Structure 1
Amino acid sequence: MFRRKRWLFVTVVFSIALIGIVAGRWAVKTVNAQNGYEELRTFTEVLTLIKKNYVDEVKTKDLVVGAIKGMINSLDPHSSYMTPEALKELQVETKGEFGGLGIHIGIKDGMLTVIAPIEDTPAFKAGIKAGDKILKISGESTKNMGLTDAVSKMRGPKGTSVILTIFREGWKETKDFTIVRDIIKIKSVKSRMLQDGIGYIKITQFQESTGPDLSAALEKLSKEGMTSLIIDLRNDPGGLLNSAVEVTEQFLPPKKLVVYTKSKNGEKTEYFTDGEKPYTDIPMVVLVNQGSASASEIVAGALKDWNRAVIIGVQTFGKGSVQSLIPLSDGSGLRLTTAKYYTPKGTSIHGVGITPDIVVKLDVKDGKEQHRVAREKDLEGHLKNEQQKEGPEEKEMAPLEVDEKDDNQLQRAIDTIKTWRVFEKMKKAA
């Protein structure tokens, strides 16, 4: 199977949790003098005027970094500039362990917003909820603060604290949460047996170890008598593209196309399954929701296109773009959107998402807190889909937390597998 040496991001948000990293060499081309000279001359003039006339002394480096950040912020919401410190931390995060709070964040309606807290982390234990607006970080306003800066301010050594000023829908005023940082260890694969030989695997995100961890979980469940499987990708924000391929190939025969990417100049890179795997025939259901993004959508899209699994839940997030991490000469880096990805049937899901085979919305119980659902099409400056028309913006609500006994999506998955078995018996009898 052809795989690139460099890694690719396919993730929805920057987060305190692991997202992913791209490594590799990039040739940086100089700006075409004929096309860019006038613009660069204006930039130089502004820089000179500020240095000469601004009321306070300013460092040239600070002005240039500010200009770079502004330039990147004018692109899509997944491109960003990373300082050398942030880049080093991100390289550590791909291992699934780092110092921080344990929350996924994004920009919604121009405000720093909690996408989801990670279970059993300091933020989760402190009571931070999905949909919370972070107005201040240790007293500093988050207005116009980029995701990279916000992540950097919330990360830090174990035992140190940070104060998040939070506003939650339904509150009359803000509330300060003092949270002590800890070492966040992200276990990307969790597994257990449900009932009647039905195995259950939850993938929280796609990191370096996810493929091998999934293999170990499948082997363990097989020894416990697994005869069918539910893969839960709900609220999985994505991660490494190669990891998504490694997960998908556990369930498909060799040489099957999982996904392909296409750059601006039309360069196409295809990712195929590699090697014989023992789980290509086991009955499968995949659970997805509005928080299933990017790498999650690659897995769900491939299994759906190859009719390998039944997809149950609600429309996914809709992030079909790929980010590359490009190191710069001073140790900093650009996290730049460089391609779009397509499912095996050639479908771009960007801004649209994947429609489940069986649509099942979570039942909302009386008294349960809800938050407004945000998808790719709701993010400011998102790329447009050249194939499909995005749906209208809707005020869609979803519960913040669901007890397993109230999880009707999981129950529908179990019922689907049981029905599957009944039909298999009928086929054999016939």
Structure 2
Amino acid sequence: MEALGGFAAASLSPPPPHYSTILQTPPWKSLPQRIGQPRLWSPLLCISKNVSYGLRPKLRKYTARLQKELNCSEKFKHHVSVHFVRLVVGVMLVMSVSVGVSRTPSWALTEENLLFLEAWRTIDRAYVDKTFNGQNMAIKKMLATLDDPFTRFLEPDKFKSLRSGTQGALTGVGLSIGYPTGFDGSPAGLLVISATPGGPASRAGILSGDVILTIDGTSTETMGIYDAAERLQGPEGSSVELTIRSGPEVKRLSLMRERVSLNPVKSRLCKMPGLGKDSPKIGYIKLASFNQNASGEHSLLLPVWA
């Protein structure tokens, strides 16, 4: 009896007499010639039937199955490597131990978190535009859940454009733009809300209600207001090409950008109709937007009307 890695291995019993005949049978014999003959001997079956007595109980079920098939002679014992037997026993032991080991607990993530992470990894791996910003996407998605049209996220470049419009002056063509309502059948594009008096757009004859069709050859049909404002602004002295629809007429204009002072306050002093020359007057003040000039211009009107 020989010790194998701390486990006892019993001697092997003699082989059946037909094994020598089978081993001498050429493997290239046709299938009909080998029908009815016992299966060929395999070294994988030459493991002692007493190997399992030193193992833990979980391994006994494996060796009990081998006991029915192991019946090899002493002359085949030396053909079975001791290292091979140790390897088989070691693998069986590792398998039995690994079954009872629990898996490491995963992170405490909700299904929504996992879905977002999977979507982000997919976009980061496969999206063509490498400038895609996942933070902006997440912020916009959270703000969209508020369902408030007056709450929106401004990216840094758009926020810069907004700040420049509230400082009272900017370098551009002097146009205030918005989206057409579409109720009157107006064409798709950007609507001119007003043109700054004395500015490049006003001098070119652009009026309130005109529609901007293109900016430097780019259609405004699906263009956002902030994108259009960025295209209209630029270095002082540079030019911008506009296609304007004014009523039925379509005209193309080239405007030179310059420093424009924004005055959001418009006013008018009117007389009450039907009361003669001494009728009281009514003052109208229109505040188009809020910027640094709004409060100052408003204050200048009140003393004049008093």
Question: TM-score when scaled to structure 2?
Answer: 0.48
Higher helix share: 2
TM-score by length of 1: 0.36
Q: Which structure shows the bigger proportion of residues in strand conformation?
A: 1
- Name which one, 1 or 2, has greater alpha-carbon Rg: 2
Higher relative contact order (CA 8 A, sep 6+): 1
